[in-house]
Structure 1
């Protein structure tokens, strides 16, 4: 029983039912089918809603074979050694410990310090208890608001008299959906107003000014100018927010009011007074990047609706709905990103994908991830080590590699935890956003699949509003380390594309094991390149990577480490392949 629940806990549909329910299936009926055993077959097509006969391409399970028993033993030993490498260099007995010990704080685990030196995660970690209080308070306030203001049509849809009941029933259901939308939007605006003032203080007025300007672009400009004006305004706002550091009131008043000289001090003092209360998060412009994505979503959804008013009623695109969407509290701080049309649809009709059982499992998975992060930063101090930047030559190639690997794992977790926290809040509130992190960072053997599953809602946003409108091409860009990282990732996609043409799967159907092993060799190369790119962008930098390469290729110990690492990665990839085959046996075909 416990094993069955564990399998359900880590089933794909616990993360997001979009992975297992085809887009063309009636939602309620499809989700009834999705309640089957997660190890059993599902009458589901692929994630795009198209039928997919994959029976001939799916191999029988290999878990109970000598090959995979051997893989399991080797992988278990490797995982222990990986953890031991970082634990050793994090111990007080290591020569470099005094160089980073000042970055450690007292932890809640007895006898352990905690590495809370990452500013981004530290800010979330220090406020998570307060956020939990808000998450618990939010649905209680909504229920209280609904019970006081709600109309009867919100909760009860009754058929009319016999004779024309079908038609009237449809109209009544539509009226109930509109009432639900109006009711929820009203509460969202009120709560967002309080939430925004608490977060950003007087900077709330700056945010509202930007929102109004963007709405005016969509609704007041001639239709043909909306897309270009939307992109110019929002990209310009992104840079202006950054360069001006959020627009100081003292600077604004000094420039635009132009008071007489004897009133200069009074004007500056008033501006400084407004600047002095910036709320819990004075740097509002940092968080506003996600809001800009929602501004673009609204404008372009509205622009496309102008050609199909019958399916997109005018009253959907009101300023009231726009304000509720762009400032929706559960997703305001970090996403995931929901398009405007999706938000309005879910406000009208509660998604069938949200059930108490599924939300409870999602909560348990979140708590497990949070506890994993807490244990890791109490025992493994790779973030502090990288901040202290000691001499990399004091570490063995294995230790330096594992420091880089677990630093990447820390980055993955510090993004995963806030995304899942805020998505959990939205699920509790009756909104089902896309899941941002599809797979564990260590369960990826393809560069293309990795980036489709990393920040998945942004990937889908980019496809809908950028990639497809531009005809399927877009130009990435970044600065410094991230520029090099971006070029490396782009470069490392090429071998995967070339290999898929040189070794097409259809030519190896009669030799599935040989093809599986051949793909495993290629996947090892992909993983090494992906790790190298991420080490440059987020951990070691070029200097540290150079030291790692010299340590590996310049010593016998390094060559032994490289060989054993490649062998272990090959076995891990075979396990990943088998996990994907298990998904195919259930009818799930994912491109990530």
Structure 2
């Protein structure tokens, strides 16, 4: 039984998701993490009690969600028409979420595309000896036209302007970065305002281009991910051209001089000669091996300037597996992996990741066939439900939102893995396995988070200028998601809500060795969870009416307040288990800080 539990735990472990999340290769760093972990509490009386609580409460949560949304609920007639015919046990399926419905209805075609792309690449590579980057360029352009039709020329216009902005600023690094950021963010506003402008309105002879809009007509939605890649390419180019953060210009002469003093990988480019420029070679086996196992080394690699070409730019921007929704991989990392296959690309790991993907697809199908909470939310059909039932409608909605994002992201990453590119994993934690707002943002859409840290947070001062950097980060996040004042205010509120956690962490961190410390942290974590849940329930699930009914039921009736007290107790139990799960990871030398 113990071995079975260990196998299940290993199947869902962070290391299985992404080798970047494994313990450090440096034994000293790994040992330091292990020593920072507390002794295991899993076998204590306290945690045996927690297991009993879990065994009791979780089935009740499922029961409440089902009773609030199934045929037995008096409100069923309100949302019955939203449901579709299913394939499990003759039940209806809640296919009412438009975003996931697009994926679900086209899942077979997407998997067929994955297989076709991988087969075509191998065939073309074997017959014509075409390089990976050349294939990505040709296939990417064809894929772009198939997805967005003639709207692809609007995307090509933006990416071309952005490409040349980085090369029109002479020797000024700051001017290059300013121009690229200003135009990059401006594209979001331009697309929001002018995306519906027709070619025929510009020139009547171009009206034929309005007839074919591709498989996905909303090109502007996916363009947001293209923008991240545009900025990544150009910022990597500028950093390579004008030097490191100290402003030292990187020239062949400087590289040669530095190479004589130090053999650090960051100082040396990846090829001996390129278009007449002579470089000190970075092809030593030990340096290549280090970059193969360290994504930071790959992101900071010093490629020849001629590698930052228009053709390589297009190959990266329109790389088919990651084009639609990511995960985001930096240009430097993409270019390195295009020339060197990482050790993580092997049949066992890719097959295991594919099995994880299949598990979550089937889990989503089970939930949509037996718990119709999305339809309930759309119809606002919770009249007469208890606070417990309404809260479960919201909570299971949050889990469905998590799954509907996780499944496409993992499919695209699985596609890239099959194709030989290892992009960062986007979703590290189950949405229910979060107690810290700061850590939640590190684990949710992780590749986007890493992109923001690299290109916004650190350049603005990072932890030395946390408030300003955080304001800039969440302002960009809000505008990037949608051009709405509501989202911009949401971004600023997030920064405001992070302050209590930051302050409390600093106040209590000196007492972390005290036996009561984790229980005080647990109280703060419960408050954090309530804030995160209520904010997300309002924004994505229940809306204004549902949240008012939930809060009114909890704080204006004796039964509702009793539910609130019990819920706080159950959350505190869950928080202690979350703490121990992270301590278990530290005992293996894994510390992802989320």
The TM-score, its normalising length taken from structure 2, stands at 0.84
2:325 aligned with 1:334: yes
* 1:395-451 residue CA offsets vs partner (Å, 9 max, x unmatched): 211111111111111111111111111011111111111111111111111110001
Q: Is the 8 A contact 1:484 1:537 kept in 2?
A: no
How does 1:188-267 map onto structure 2 within 5 Å? Answer: 188-224=136-172, 225-254=175-204, 267=205
Say which SS state the counterpart of residue 336 (structure 1) adopts. Answer: coil
Deviates more, 1:275-284 or 1:492-501: 492-501
How does 1:47-62 map onto structure 2 within 5 Å? Answer: 53-62=32-41
What is the alpha-carbon distance in structure 2 between the residues aligned to residue 228 and residue 470 of structure 1? 13
Q: 1:10, CA displacement in angstroms?
A: 1.6
Q: 1:380, CA displacement in angstroms?
A: 1.2
What is the alpha-carbon distance in structure 1 between the residues aligned to residue 560 and residue 524 of structure 2? 21
CA separation of 1:146 and 1:535: change in aligned 2, threshold 3 A: same
CA separation of 1:223 and 1:407: change in aligned 2, threshold 3 A: farther
Name 1:499's counterpart in structure 2.
504
Name 2:272's counterpart in structure 1.
none
In structure 1, runs of 5+ residues without a counterpart are 31-42, 47-51, 151-181, 255-266
* 1:516-548 residue CA offsets vs partner (Å, 9 max, x unmatched): 222222211111111111112212233432221
Name 2:445's counterpart in structure 1.
455
Name 2:586's counterpart in structure 1.
584
Q: 1:568, CA displacement in angstroms?
A: 0.9
Q: Is the 8 A contact 1:116 1:377 kept in 2?
A: yes
Deviates more, 1:318-327 or 1:105-114: 105-114
How does 1:478-517 map onto structure 2 within 5 Å? Answer: 478=478, 479=484, 482-483=487-488, 485-504=490-509, 506-509=510-513, 511-512=514-515, 514-517=516-519
2:459 aligned with 1:469: yes
CA separation of 1:251 and 1:44: change in aligned 2, threshold 3 A: farther
Q: Is the 8 A contact 2:380 2:542 kept in 1?
A: no
What is the alpha-carbon distance in structure 1 between the residues aligned to residue 512 and residue 123 of structure 2? 62
Q: 1:139, CA displacement in angstroms?
A: 1.4
Q: 1:508, CA displacement in angstroms?
A: 4.3
* 1:247-292 residue CA offsets vs partner (Å, 9 max, x unmatched): 42122225xxxxxxxxxxxx4xx51x31111111111111111001
How does 1:110-509 map onto structure 2 within 5 Å? Answer: 110-150=89-129, 183-224=131-172, 225-254=175-204, 267=205, 270-271=206-207, 273-306=208-241, 307=243, 308-310=250-252, 311=269, 312-390=303-381, 392-472=382-462, 473=469, 474-475=471-472, 476-477=474-475, 478=478, 479=484, 482-483=487-488, 485-504=490-509, 506-509=510-513
What is the alpha-carbon distance in structure 1 between the residues aligned to residue 69 and residue 119 of structure 2? 44
* 1:166-208 residue CA offsets vs partner (Å, 9 max, x unmatched): xxxxxxxxxxxxxxxx710011112112212221122222222
Name 1:263's counterpart in structure 2.
none
Name 1:261's counterpart in structure 2.
none
Q: 1:44, CA displacement in angstroms?
A: 7.2
2:524 aligned with 1:522: yes
Q: 1:388, CA displacement in angstroms?
A: 1.2
What is the alpha-carbon distance in structure 1 between the residues aligned to residue 113 and residue 343 of structure 2? 25
Name 1:102's counterpart in structure 2.
81
Q: Is the 8 A contact 1:192 1:324 kept in 2?
A: yes
* Paired positions, count: 519
What is the alpha-carbon distance in structure 2 between the residues aligned to residue 354 and residue 73 of structure 1? 41
In structure 2, runs of 5+ residues without a counterpart are 244-249, 253-268, 270-302, 463-468, 479-483
What is the alpha-carbon distance in structure 2 between the residues aligned to residue 329 and residue 55 of structure 1? 40
Q: 1:389, CA displacement in angstroms?
A: 2.1
The TM-score, its normalising length taken from structure 1, stands at 0.84
Say which SS state the counterpart of residue 73 (structure 2) adopts. Answer: coil
What is the alpha-carbon distance in structure 1 between the residues aligned to residue 94 and residue 171 of structure 2? 53
Q: 1:219, CA displacement in angstroms?
A: 2.6
Q: Is the 8 A contact 2:68 2:390 kept in 1?
A: no
Tell me which of 24, 29, 32 is aligned to 1:45. 29
- Aligned-residue Cα RMSD (Å) equals 1.9
Say which SS state the counterpart of residue 343 (structure 1) adopts. Answer: helix
Say which SS state the counterpart of residue 82 (structure 1) adopts. Answer: helix
* 1:455-482 residue CA offsets vs partner (Å, 9 max, x unmatched): 1111111111112222331433443654
Q: Which runs of 4+ in 1 moved over 6 A?
A: none
CA separation of 1:309 and 1:284: change in aligned 2, threshold 3 A: farther
